[in-house]
Amino acid sequence: MTAPTTEGRHDAGMPTAAMTSPGLRAEVEDHYISYALTMDDKRPNDWVALFLGTGLYAVGTHNNVSTTGMWWYTDRGPGALKERAAYTNGYLRHNPTRTLHTITNVRARETEDGRIKAEAYVVLYVTDRVELSRFHVCGRYDDLLARTDDGLRFVEHRVVLDAETLPGNMGVLL
């Protein structure tokens, strides 16, 4: 591996916040609010439903993504997405942990093929049985969205975390 570089940054071509139209930002923010609630309310089937059937969900750290392209996992399609939802909603052996996802700093633009390129920040807090509620991880979303009759859906939902070292329990959705 080589040292991190700025090559492959995921914000290329994104508008600044001031350039994102208020209507588009509200539309995308509503989608993210719904998305956060599926995770924090433990509704895994609804989480899966916010992806297109061919949707992609990938999570990695900034250092790896910007150098080697290493995503810890890349889930493609309904089988992988359902499996991820299951693992993070009771199948893994972690004690129950409540989560609170805060999604902010939304930027978005429409692409030439009618989709939406969106970017946002995410901060995850967790609360377990005995410790105080605490910050867990943070990062950014680098997403491609499609409009459907049921609202926006993820074509690609990529999460790049700002972390070199991770907590012991990353069995969470982001």
Q: Which positions lie near other proteins, rule CB under 8 A?
A: 1-3, 44-45, 48, 59, 61, 63-64, 68-75, 77-80, 82-83, 85-87, 89-95, 164-171
Contact 47, 31 (CB under 8 A): no
CA distances from 85 to 52, 56, 134, 159 (A): 15, 13, 23, 15
Min separation Cβ 5 and other proteins, Å: 11
CB nearer to other proteins: pick between 112 and 131: 131
**Least CB distance from residue 92 to other proteins, whole Å?**
5
Q: Strand order in 151-161's β-sheet?
A: 71-76, 51-61, 151-161, 134-148, 116-127, 98-110
Give 24 or 63: the residue with its C-beta nearer to other proteins: 63
Closest listed residue to residue 18, CA positions, set 126, 118, 106: 106
User: Which residue stretches of 11-132 are H helix?
Assistant: 22-40, 44-49, 62-67, 77-86
In angstroms, give the least distance from the CB of 61 to other proteins: 6
State in angstroms the smallest separation of the CB of 173 from other proteins: 11
Nearer to other proteins, 20 or 38 (CB): 38
- Whether residue 132 contacts residue 31, with contact meaning beta carbons closer than 8 Å, is answered with no
The residue (of 52 and 108) whose beta carbon lies closer to other proteins is 52
> In the complex with other proteins, which residue's Cβ is closer, 20 or 61?
61
Least CB distance to other proteins at residue 43 (A): 9
* Token pair recorded at residue 162: 């700002």
User: How many CB atoms sit inside 10 A of residue 6's CB?
Assistant: 6
